[in-house]
A and B are shown apart, each in its own frame.
Chain A
């Protein structure tokens, strides 16, 4: 590793993102790596390693890595972390930077499109709403406008993509 390949500002960039500040507290104790269920199935996925690479400033290596998109968001790392680093959220911060720089994998783009269209990942169909009606429950509302606004696709109010059902 060469020092001039490292970006000392990268860790501050991550820490400044929402959810990213926890990276400042990491002791590199690897309790997260010991319990990560993704790491248990993917030898190259290691939360401690991703944090160290970020702290060392290996900006391109981290942002372009397909590994950062594998987190299952189970929050086990956060549960065992003695330093309350909240790695799931640190990784979200890293993914947000990566995504802005065009590193998001196709699956993430499809996920965003589904959210923009449906307001949720799984579309609510008559199947679910009929069942709810049988139980005397109101139909589920899908509010894609909120996500469209977040994704910068359409203004928040007024011309909603799909009427609430």
Chain B
């Protein structure tokens, strides 16, 4: 049996913001691309994110996913297959020959792209790995009680709740909310030494959304230090400090109390105390994609010292974009997708010059 043949100048693995941005950028340069998405629908992690605007836009980028999906759906140069996985790859001629297999994983969602129905072979001159990163599973930091103590959520769960306009089970009542930073980042005991970079920004902005939604809410921000983030951050931070209580201490543990989760922490020069909250949010860090090693082996891409994919020193024609290459915000992933697109486009152009000239 011969596979369906789906040749394309540029193959993009991953239909999150980085992959979509790369495809749209390539289309604008007149280069056709095929996006392969593992899940039944496009969007990746960004599809769970809430808008961080209060009175003004916070430029978080959550709304840009919709724009990118609409553009990708309408640009004729872009082909999208969902529920598809690259299972084998080998260099062939100028580029790569990739075997694709359908992923029978659940409902086909609405949105652009069609599910891959059968195994297929695809030749591409360039491959962009835009598979995203993996958020830390907070159950791995057992002392913070995720999955054990009621009222403890990961920041991703809070994103999804806020995207629905709710604040967990006690939906619309003002709440006392604690954010605990660096859960699964800057943690040698977990072997995760890197700063996830985006968590201070998303946590404080979600804290501000909560204060905007339910102004009687109290928000506490437990942190080691605030990582400077984004262009307007220096102006934004003093305002955020007024709206929330900043506590420079990592809690020792989160336990179940009578009225909700209780956080044990020590202020400088004071004895440790236990304080009750309605909601404890664990700001989980971004890590390398699951299966980074498998992908790395498939395409010969190297990993950096933290395990993220890197195109440096890898084979010709393989590029990496977005959070697969290291923790990145939505906006940064979009820009990074554009960078990979320009590199892929130059390669396609020089190969075609070599062939015709």
Contacts and interface: CB of A to CB of B under 8 A. Distances in A.
A29 B269 contact: no
Interface in B160-201: 182, 186-190
A109 to B, nearest CB: 30
Interface string B185-226: 011111000000000000000000000000000000000110
B277 to A, nearest CB: 15
A30 B271 contact: no
A31 B189 contact: no
A41 to B, nearest CB: 9
B268 A49 contact: yes
Interface stretch (A79-87, A129-137, A138-146): A79-87
Nearest to A28: B224
Interface in B254-286: 264-272
Secondary structure class of chain A's binding surface, majority of residues: loop
Interface residues of B, number: 24
A39 B225 CA distance: 23
Contact of A82 (B188, B265, B272): B188
B250 A34 contact: yes
A5 B143 CA distance: 39
A34 B252 CA distance: 5
B133 interface: no
A141 to B, nearest CB: 37
A49 B266 CA distance: 11
A35 B253 contact: yes
Interface string A75-116: 000001111100000000000000000000000000000000
B272 A35 contact: yes
Given A29-B249, A34-B251, A48 B266 contact: yes
B188 A33 contact: no
Nearest to B263: A34
A81 B252 CA distance: 9
A48 B268 contact: yes
B272 A39 contact: yes
A147 to B, nearest CB: 33
A34 B143 contact: no
A35 B264 contact: yes
A17 B226 CA distance: 32
Classify the interface of chain B: helix, strand, loop or mixed: loop
A150 interface: no
B272 A33 contact: yes
A34 B269 contact: no
Contacts of B250: 29-31, 34, 82
Nearest to A78: B189
Given A28-B224, A40-B272, A34 B265 contact: yes
A30 B186 contact: no
A80 B186 CA distance: 13
A25 interface: yes
Contacts of B186: 27, 82
B224 A39 contact: no
B266 A84 contact: no
Interface string B277-297: 000000000000000000000
Contacts of A13: none
B272 to A, nearest CB: 5
Contact of A83 (B143, B188, B248, B269): B188
B138 to A, nearest CB: 14
Nearest to B224: A29
A152 interface: no
Nearest 4 CB-CB pairings of A with B:
A34-B252, A35-B252, A33-B266, A29-B250
24 contacts: A27-B224, A27-B225, A29-B250, A30-B268, A31-B249, A31-B251, A32-B252, A33-B249, A34-B249, A34-B250, A34-B264, A39-B266, A40-B272, A43-B270, A46-B266, A46-B269, A49-B268, A80-B253, A81-B189, A82-B182, A82-B189, A82-B190, A83-B187, A83-B189
Interface of B: 143, 182, 186-190, 224-225, 248-253, 264-272
Given A27-B186, A34-B249, A35-B272, 20 more contacts: A25-B188, A28-B224, A30-B248, A30-B265, A30-B268, A31-B249, A32-B252, A33-B266, A34-B272, A36-B272, A40-B271, A40-B272, A43-B270, A49-B269, A80-B253, A81-B189, A82-B182, A82-B186, A82-B189, A82-B250
